[in-house]
């Protein structure tokens, strides 16, 4: 049985990747993921916005009270080694690279053109095997069109593509008006892979205290169909390889994703819930399932249920919706 | 001789850099102004900087200076090269060990930033009273007068101690030298290696206490031998001065800088000579050279080695022509014939004469004078006045110079405006706020000019006494020769005022030289600014023909995302206008300095600073030459007209920065100072103040409790009082069944608020349709100021709450009580002052407070204005500060006195029971005073008693009149920080807890030495970075509460007002009511935690909810009721400790420097927290069995077996 896949040009023994999450913050967890059979790991994103805030707040806390009172000209020691912004991330990346043999994919969330351009070469130099660009942006600006947002994103991919040689993936949200067309643009701009889809912190409202609570719910199976549909829609249409992210919780989910067209399967929630070893169990479930249903390789399975090849493409499209409604009425 | 590297450093760094490189063991303890030396040494060792032998010195912070002295003594005995740094009271704590170290002939050098010893008042500033208290220890005393000398004499002292075996105290003037920034020639490691005698080190090692060659030291000797043995060391002391001179010669040969035991400068045939030491001698030298150039025959002897005093060398230094000598001391020795240097010189001259060494035709007349106490200015005008006195036929002896003594008339008059500085020295003065970065920018400018140009530089910085909104004045000099002017600039070519508000508060142009440049940071442009200036300023600009420039630095800084940091902008203006460097070059250098300072902390800050630099010049404008005065107003008066006479006559002068002008007669001779003065200092610090929306307010009073400055207050009052209310005064119906029909007002003190926003953060009442709007929101102060000032005045006149009607005091009702601690100079958002304020609300009218030295003694008692105040009956907290280390004992003494007075009063009252008559006498003797109502009743009875005593003819009645007030219960509070309670004062605190007396201890636990700048204490939590624990503390915080609980008879509470205000109020009341010792440990957020204090309350909540700071009350009385004495007031952790730590810079800095270590410390912190909580949880379930027995057992409240305690 052959579970090997090629994702972002990387030859992986199986499609299961630990997605970007706090799990990658700890070297021992990363090692456990490798031991469980993870084919690669994505590090938590380097958030440029966070870097900006940290630098400014560190400056504020050390400067704002200094040199104003005769007895205390400063209130803090001044460490000579200070890992700020990318340094901290790059140092961690280096340590992870030393700790494991599987490919390590870095992740970047830029906030400014400078940030998108400055950090990728540093990440490459620190030894990342690939880079996932996390194009997370909330379009709150009333005067900024979808076209402009998409053009900026494509430009980022083009620029980064020019700046580094390592493979490049783009993690997308499902909220684009013309996702297929946009995916095509990213593909042409040089993305080696697309990750479908990002999940976000969502504000929740506390009606008693009238406060917003930032929360991140773990994913469940219900999130998978949205991803299956878009994997299905894009499978076979692009040069870039595809990864699913969000909603894969067992071997069967992983199989479905591959059938929809995924080259790789990223998992976070189930691993956070059950520990890194869960990844090994899912791999086992995949193998068992493939043995039971006599599949020799994932390569032959991939995309068999895509829009292009599935027996009932209409089920992926609007008719699907109409039918379901009718079915419900009946 | 190779050219030495030129560096720009302050005196502390200059001395510490030598000491660190010549030591193996360094024991330290923070004390101003020497703390920096210890901090630097610690930091260098932490970063692996080695001494000249390639080893990294071991640094150990101790629990007190006494501990540091003991540690270096031990290290020396074991053969190490050791040093320490200290000042003032700290030096006094070292004296016992200094006798030992000297008595044992141990090579050792300590470095002292000489500071005033507290007498009638504490002072952090400089004079020689501390070092002179050590004269008898047997230490050699070597003095430096400048930053260059602080480095050089440090090396000479280390050289000489090794050769002579006499321990050395190397000292220089606190602040004037320790904090002066100057360009000096650096001693390299190779220089030091050349200077130090390795054979002397070997000899020291060979004397080390070691089991391989054991000897015994520290024997006890008896009358038969001690005396002789004490004299056995004479030869070493006698040889010392010669060895110092040898060291100086060696040093001079290597560096080209020659020193001697005594140095003479001046006319070779001078008839008048001043003898002095320290930084004042620099000023004297500058003046002497100026006078000699004018043809006067005057001279100066600079004393370097004070002890051992070399009479021979001194006599040879004096010119034979001298007819009169003035010896100037920077200390005061009341009761002695004269001050110490004077006596030494007199003795030396007399001995020289007796021994025939003297070569004077006629013995010169010698007078002594005192100058410069507590860093009082000593300038050329004063030096001239001293020479003028010497020229008199009968010069005044025992004079003072630098003050006006209109009481004992000892002072000499002088010309305060005399300016002898050469024209080629550029002088600049900058007025800034602490928060705007002015001082930092100026230090930066000095570095640029000092290190990048041939100019010599000097920077001296004057800070005010407030921690919030502090004013800073920077004095910068640049010139072609080393700068000796150790005094403030008289005439500045460049004056910059970095805050527009100052034009109405400070006389910024007082020292502006005619034709100079005046730069003002102004929101008004070049065409508008003139009319906005007060009359005095317009007059100064016109009469002195100043070139006047403005820039809106806040606008530039804001556009560059620099917030309120205008330092870079103003620095660029200075370089652009002063012409010290070509503009382009200056800007490049500024950018280089920015890169160097902030580069390692990321490029964002660098880029923003660059943007500020680039935008500056376009915004800098010259004001078209003004020709006429247009001002319609003068500078407003310092204090309101209705202020008391003392405040107007004395306090206001100090507030205006003119305290130097006050004569001796203005001051109380014993240091007792009037209270209730902070109310007259309207600082107007807040840009925004809270505004009350009564429609939304739920009248919870939480905002009132958290306000650190008592600047938002609540009152409940009769509606009739509103008849006279100002138009904009707000009121609402008081929501209370018990007090229906009354009105409620929440009022802000607009000019006292610091704008910290704690009140808004804590406000729970939101507008449901627009939750961003709360019952209090911040709004710009300026448009509200006038109306709210009037409203606040009206509010203050409304009647105070009747304590007897409030019933049991809880969180809400406590905040209707008048705070007797208000408008302190504490930091905006301070986490300590809310506790003190609530303490004064609850017990202030009958409280005595003993306050340990630290933040709380500084904002509590630093002049000009102080926050403790009185109610309308004139009662309020009686407050005193003794020392840092003895506060528990000090407070206990107050308790003993109060108890003695009360016992005496009761005894006397009992004896007079007949003439006074019952029931009054009986009621007083039997009074129960456990409620406010009970106390009010007793006060009334005592008033009756006093009126009856008037008519009783008896000595007993007269005695009782003075004691009667002690029949009303007093509350004794021992207040201080964790440095006191956990470290330096712990021994005393422990003893006081064990005394079983009725004292209440409030520990304001900021978990760090806040006042001296963030050094770790034993209260510092595991994982936090602090000075002396830069990499993050490895050891858990000491559990002071648990230690106190182990006694069994001590009431202990741990509180955090931000997490549970009701528990804070309850614990303070229980502690006060408990008839034995009580210890309350209060979580106090602090700027030394490294985050915006506006979030202090949020962090307190996280501290409690994460289990880091469990809340509890341990009441021994519960034992007797069969209940567990420990009651936990906070539950199991609900949030992660990491979430608490992530918000604070003190923890984040560890993560940023070493993430792996941080993770380890975080896990350790979690484990410790869980373990401690588990212990508390188990304890809170344990009842203590009561066994029958003779003696007191745990849980017995202090009873008849104890000394008399108060009835409740």
Tens digits of residue pLDDT in B569-578: 999 999 999 9
Torsion of CA B400, B403, B405, B406, to 10 degrees: 150
pLDDT confidence tier of residue A327, bands split at 50, 70 and 90: very low
Residue, of B14 and A49, whose pLDDT is higher: B14
In this structure, are residues B22 and B192 in contact, taking their beta carbons and an 8 Å threshold? yes
- Closest residue in B to A53 (Cα) is B604
Q: How far is B435 from chain A (nearest CA, A)?
A: 6
For residue A126, give the nearest of A88, A91, A166 by alpha carbon: A91
- Cα angle vertex B998, ends B995, B1002, to 5°? 95
Residues of chain A with Cβ-Cβ distance to B437 below 8 Å are: 63, 67
CA–CA gap between residue B340 and residue B1091 (Å, rounded): 48
pTM exceeds 0.90, yes or no: yes
What sign results for the dihedral spanned by CA atoms A6, A11, A13, A14?
negative
Q: Give the mutation candidate from B1087, B1093, B1136, B1160 for the A interface (greatest A CB count, under 10 A).
A: B1087
- Whether A61 and chain B come into contact, CB under 8 Å, resolves to yes
CA dihedral B504, B509, B511, B517 (to 10 degrees): 150
Alpha-carbon distance of B452 to B139, in angstroms, equals 41
Q: pLDDT value at position A47? A: 87
Say if residue A214's pLDDT is above 80.
no
Q: Residue A112: closest CA among chain B residues belongs to which residue? A: B604
The torsion region of residue B1026 among left (phi > 0), alpha (psi -120 to 50) and beta comes to beta
B478 bridge partner residues: B426, B457
Query: Nearest CB to B601: which of A55, A65, A74?
Result: A55
Distance between CA atoms of residues B847 and B933, nearest Å: 17
B437/A77 Cβ within 8 A:
no
Please give, one letter per residue, the 3-state secondary structure of B711-737: CEEEEEECHHHHHHCCCCCCCEECCCC
Question: Can you give the pLDDT at residue A49?
Answer: 84
Residues of A in contact with B568 (CB under 8 A): none
In chain B, residues with a C-beta closer than 8 Å to the C-beta of A63 are: 437, 440, 565
Interface check for A208 against chain B (CB to CB < 8 A): the answer is no
List, for residues B371-403, the tens digit of each pLDDT value.
Answer: 999 999 999 999 999 999 999 999 999 999 999
Report the distance separating Cα B223 and Cα B590, nearest Å: 69
In this prediction, residue B807 carries a pLDDT of: 81
Q: In this complex, do A68 and B768 lie within 8 Å of one another by their Cβ atoms?
A: no
The span from the CA of B592 to the CA of B578, in Å, is 19
Catalytic residues of B: 32, 65, 115, 1011
C-alpha distances in Å from residue B958, one per residue of B566, B904, B941, B943, B955: 65, 13, 17, 15, 5
Chain centroid to CA B22: 30
Two tokens, residue B176: 């004037």
Yes or no, beta carbons of A210 and B768 under 8 Å apart = yes
Residues in chain A closer than 8 A to B10 (CB atoms): none
Backbone angles phi, psi at B771, to 5 degrees: -60, -10
Would you mind telling me the total number of residues written for chain A in this entry? 330
Task: Report the alpha-carbon angle B621-B625-B626, nearest 5.
Answer: 115
At B1199 the pLDDT is 46
pLDDT of residue A321: 52
Residue by residue, DSSP assigns A211-253 as EEEEE-PPP-GGGHHHHHHHHHHHTTT-SSEEEEESS--SHHH
pLDDT value of residue B584: 92
Give B283 to chain A, closest Cα distance, Å: 23
Is the CB of residue A207 less than 8 Å away from at least one CB of chain B? no
Q: Please tell me the distance in Å from B107's CA to the nearest CA on chain A.
A: 31
Distances (CA, A) of B280 to A129, B165, B181, B277, B495: 67, 30, 16, 7, 25
- Report chain B residues whose CB lies below 8 A from the CB of A51: 602, 604
Tell me what ipTM this predicted complex has.
0.89
Identify which of B246, B277, B328 has the alpha carbon closest to the alpha carbon of residue B146: B277
Q: Which residues of A touch B605 (CB under 8 A)?
A: 55-56, 59
* Spatial contact of B522 and B529, defined as CB atoms under 8 Å apart: yes
Minimal CA–CA distance to A191: which of A133, A256, A148, A246? Answer: A133
Q: Measured between CB atoms, which of A61, A72, A81 is closest to B1090?
A: A61
**Contact status, residue B547 vs residue B526, Cβ threshold 8 Å:** no
Bridge partners of residue B184, in order along the sequence? B7
> What is the block-wise mean pLDDT of chain B (1208 residues), using blocks of 10 residues?
87 98 98 97 95 98 98 98 98 98 98 98 97 98 98 98 98 98 98 97 97 96 97 98 98 98 98 98 98 98 98 96 97 97 97 91 94 98 98 97 98 97 95 91 94 94 89 96 96 97 94 97 96 96 97 95 89 93 92 85 84 95 92 92 96 94 96 96 94 97 98 97 96 91 97 97 94 96 97 97 86 97 96 98 98 97 96 97 98 98 97 95 95 94 97 96 97 98 98 96 98 96 94 96 97 98 98 97 96 94 97 96 97 95 92 89 97 97 79 48 41
For the residues A133-162, what does the mean pLDDT come to? 90
């Amino acid at each position: 049985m052959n579970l090997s896949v090629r994702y972002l040009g990387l030859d992986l023994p199986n499609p299961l990747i630990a997605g970007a999450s706090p799990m990658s913050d700890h070297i021992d967890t990363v090692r456990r993921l490798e031991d469980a059979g993870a084919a690669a790991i994505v590090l938590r994103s380097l958030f440029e916005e966070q870097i900006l805030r940290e630098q400014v707040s560190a400056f504020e806390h050390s400067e704002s009270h200094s040199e104003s009172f005769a007895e205390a000209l400063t209130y803090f020691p001044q460490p000579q080694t200070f890992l700020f912004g990318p340094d901290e991330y790059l140092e961690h990346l280096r340590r992870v690279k030393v700790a494991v043999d599987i490919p390590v994919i870095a992740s970047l969330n830029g906030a400014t053109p400078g940030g998108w351009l400055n950090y990728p070469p540093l990440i490459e130099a620190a030894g990342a095997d690939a880079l996932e660009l996390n194009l997370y942006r909330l379009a709150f600006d009333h005067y900024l069109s979808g076209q402009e947002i998409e053009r900026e994103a494509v430009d980022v991919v083009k620029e980064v593509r020019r700046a580094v040689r390592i493979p490049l993936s783009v993690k997308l949200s499902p909220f684009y008006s013309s996702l297929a067309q946009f995916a095509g643009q990213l593909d042409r701009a040089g993305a080696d892979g697309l990750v479908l889809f990002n999940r976000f912190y969502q504000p929740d409202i506390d009606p008693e205290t009238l406060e917003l609570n930032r929360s991140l719910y773990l994913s469940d199976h219900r999130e998978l169909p949205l991803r299956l549909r878009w994997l299905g829609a894009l499978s076979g249409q692009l040069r870039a390889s595809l990864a699913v992210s969000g909603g894969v919780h067992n071997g069967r989910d992983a199989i479905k994703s591959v059938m929809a067209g995924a080259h790789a399967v990223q998992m976070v929630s189930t691993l956070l819930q059950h520990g890194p070893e869960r990844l090994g169990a899912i791999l086992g479930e995949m193998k068992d399932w493939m043995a039971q249903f006599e599949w020799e390789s994932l390569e032959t399975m991939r995309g068999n249920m895509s829009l292009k090849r599935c027996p009932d493409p209409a089920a992926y499209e609007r008719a699907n919706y109409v039918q379901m409604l009718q079915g419900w009425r009946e | 001789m190779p050219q030495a590297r030129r560096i720009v450093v302050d005196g502390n760094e200059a001395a510490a850099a030598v000491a660190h490189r010549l030591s193996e063991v360094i024991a330290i303890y923070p004390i101003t102004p020497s703390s920096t030396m210890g901090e630097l040494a610690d930091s260098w060792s932490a970063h692996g900087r080695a001494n000249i032998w390639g080893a990294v010195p071991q640094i150990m912070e101790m629990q007190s200076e006494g501990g540091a002295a003991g540690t270096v003594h031990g290290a020396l005995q074991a053969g190490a090269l050791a040093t320490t740094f200290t000042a003032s009271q700290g030096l006094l704590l070292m004296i016992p060990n200094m006798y030992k170290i000297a008595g044992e002939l141990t090579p050792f050098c300590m470095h002292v930033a000489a500071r005033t010893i507290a007498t009638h008042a504490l002072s952090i500033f400089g004079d020689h009273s501390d070092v002179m208290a050590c004269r008898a220890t047997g230490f050699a005393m070597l003095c430096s007068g400048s930053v260059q000398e602080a480095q050089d004499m440090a090396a000479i002292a280390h050289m000489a101690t090794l050769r002579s075996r006499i321990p050395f105290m190397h000292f220089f003037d606190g602040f004037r030298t320790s904090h002066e920034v100057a360009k000096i020639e650096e001693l390299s490691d190779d220089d030091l290696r050349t200077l130090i005698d390795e054979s002397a080190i070997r000899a020291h090692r060979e004397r080390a206490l070691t089991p391989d060659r054991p000897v015994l030291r520290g024997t006890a000797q008896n009358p038969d031998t001690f005396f002789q043995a004490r004299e056995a060391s004479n030869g070493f002391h006698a040889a010392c001065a010669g060895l110092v001179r040898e060291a100086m010669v060696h040093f001079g040969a290597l560096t080209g800088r020659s020193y001697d035991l005594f140095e003479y400068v001046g006319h070779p045939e001078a008839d008048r000579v001043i003898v002095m030491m320290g930084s004042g001698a620099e000023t004297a030298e500058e003046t002497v050279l100026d006078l000699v150039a004018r043809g006067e025959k005057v001279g100066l002897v600079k004393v370097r080695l004070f002890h051992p005093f070399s009479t021979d060398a001194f006599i040879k230094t004096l010119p034979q022509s001298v007819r009169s000598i003035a010896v100037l001391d920077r200390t005061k020795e009341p009761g002695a014939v004269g001050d110490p240097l004077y006596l030494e010189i007199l003795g030396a001259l007399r001995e020289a004469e007796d021994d025939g060494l003297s070569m004077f035709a006629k013995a010169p007349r010698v007078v002594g004078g005192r100058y410069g106490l507590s860093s009082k200015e000593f300038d050329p005008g004063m030096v001239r006045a001293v020479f003028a006195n010497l020229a008199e036929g009968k010069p005044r002896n025992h004079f003072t110079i630098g003050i006006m003594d209109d009481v004992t008339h000892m002072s000499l008059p002088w010309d305060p405006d005399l300016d002898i500085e050469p024209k080629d020295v550029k002088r600049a003065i900058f007025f800034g706020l602490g928060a705007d970065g002015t001082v930092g920018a100026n230090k930066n400018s000095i570095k640029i000019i000092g290190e990048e140009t041939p100019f010599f530089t000097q920077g001296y910085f004057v800070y005010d006494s407030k921690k919030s909104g502090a004013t800073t004045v920077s004095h910068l000099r640049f010139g072609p020769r080393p700068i000796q002017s150790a005094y403030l600039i008289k005439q500045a070519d460049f004056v910059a005022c970095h805050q527009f508000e100052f034009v109405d508060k400070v006389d910024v142009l007082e020292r502006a030289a005619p034709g100079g440049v005046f730069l003002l940071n102004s929101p008004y442009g070049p065409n508008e600014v003139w009319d906005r200036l007060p009359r005095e300023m317009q007059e100064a600009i016109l009469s002195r023909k100043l070139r006047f420039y403005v820039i809106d630095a806040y606008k530039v800084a804001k556009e560059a995302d620099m917030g309120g940091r205008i330092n870079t902008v103003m620095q660029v203006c200075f370089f652009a206008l002063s012409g010290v460097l070509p503009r382009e070059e200056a800007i490049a250098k500024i950018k280089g300095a920015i890169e160097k300072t902030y580069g390692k902390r990321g490029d964002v800050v660098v880029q923003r600073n660059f943007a500020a630099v680039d935008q500056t010049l376009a915004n800098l404008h010259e004001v078209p030459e003004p020709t006429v005065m247009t001002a319609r107003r003068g500078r407003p008066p310092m204090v309101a007209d209705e202020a008391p006479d003392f405040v107007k006559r004395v306090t206001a002068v100090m507030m205006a920065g003119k305290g130097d002008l006050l004569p001796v007669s203005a001051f109380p001779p014993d240091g007792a100072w009037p209270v209730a003065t902070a109310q007259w200092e309207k600082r107007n610090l807040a840009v925004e103040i809270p505004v009350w929306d009564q429609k939304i307010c739920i009248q919870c009073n939480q905002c009132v409790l958290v306000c650190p400055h008592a600047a938002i207050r609540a009152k409940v009052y009769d509606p009739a009082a509103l008849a006279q209310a100002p138009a904009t005064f707000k009121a609402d119906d008081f929501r209370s069944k018990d007090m229906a029909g009354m009105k409620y007002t929440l009022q802000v003190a607009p000019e006292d608020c610091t704008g910290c926003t704690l009140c808004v953060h804590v406000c729970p009442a939101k507008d449901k349709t627009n939750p961003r709007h709360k019952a209090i929101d911040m709004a710009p102060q300026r448009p509200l100021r006038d109306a709210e000032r009037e409203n606040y005045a009206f509010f203050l006149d409304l009647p105070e709450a009747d304590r007897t009607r409030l019933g049991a005091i809880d969180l809400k009702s406590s905040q209707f009580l008048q705070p007797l601690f208000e408008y302190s100079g504490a930091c905006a958002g301070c986490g300590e002052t809310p506790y003190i304020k609530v303490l004064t609300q609850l017990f202030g009218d009958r409280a005595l407070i003993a306050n340990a030295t630290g933040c709380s003694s500084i904002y509590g008692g630093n002049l000009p204005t102080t926050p403790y105040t009185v109610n309308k009956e004139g009662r309020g907290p009686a407050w005193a500060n003794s020392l840092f280390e003895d506060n528990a004992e000090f407070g206990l003494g107050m308790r003993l006195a109060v108890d003695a007075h009360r016992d005496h009063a009761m005894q006397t009252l009992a004896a007079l029971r007949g003439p006074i008559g019952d029931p009054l006498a009986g009621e007083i003797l039997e009074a129960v005073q456990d409620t406010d109502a009970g106390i009010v009743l007793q006060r009334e009875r005592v008033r009756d008693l006093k009126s009856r005593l008037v008519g009783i003819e008896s000595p007993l009645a007269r005695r009782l009149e003075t004691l009667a007030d002690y029949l009303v219960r007093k509350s004794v509070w021992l207040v201080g920080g964790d440095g006191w309670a956990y470290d330096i004062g712990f021994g005393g605190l422990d003893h006081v807890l064990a005394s079983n007396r009725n004292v209440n201890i409030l520990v304001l636990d900021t978990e760090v030495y806040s006042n001296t700048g963030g050094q770790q204490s034993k209260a510092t939590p595991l994982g936090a970075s602090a000075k002396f624990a830069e990499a993050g503390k490895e050891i858990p915080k000491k559990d002071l509460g648990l230690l106190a609980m182990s006694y069994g008879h001590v009431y202990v509470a741990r509180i955090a007002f931000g997490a549970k205000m009701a528990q804070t109020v309850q614990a303070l009341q229980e502690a006060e009511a408990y008839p034995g010792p009580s210890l309350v440990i209060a979580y106090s957020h602090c700027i030394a935690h490294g985050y915006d204090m506006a979030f202090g309350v949020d962090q307190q909540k996280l501290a409690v909810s994460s289990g880091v700071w469990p809340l509890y009350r341990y009441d021994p009385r519960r034992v007797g009721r069969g209940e567990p004495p420990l009651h936990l007031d906070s539950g199991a952790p609900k949030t992660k400790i990491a979430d608490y730590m992530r918000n604070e810079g003190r923890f984040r800095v560890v993560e940023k420097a070493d993430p792996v270590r941080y993770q380890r410390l975080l896990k350790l912190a979690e484990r410790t927290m869980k373990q401690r909580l588990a212990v508390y949880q188990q304890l809170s379930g344990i009842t203590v069995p009561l066994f029958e027995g003779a003696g007191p057992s745990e849980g017995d409240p202090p009873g008849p077996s104890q000394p008399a305690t108060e009835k409740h």
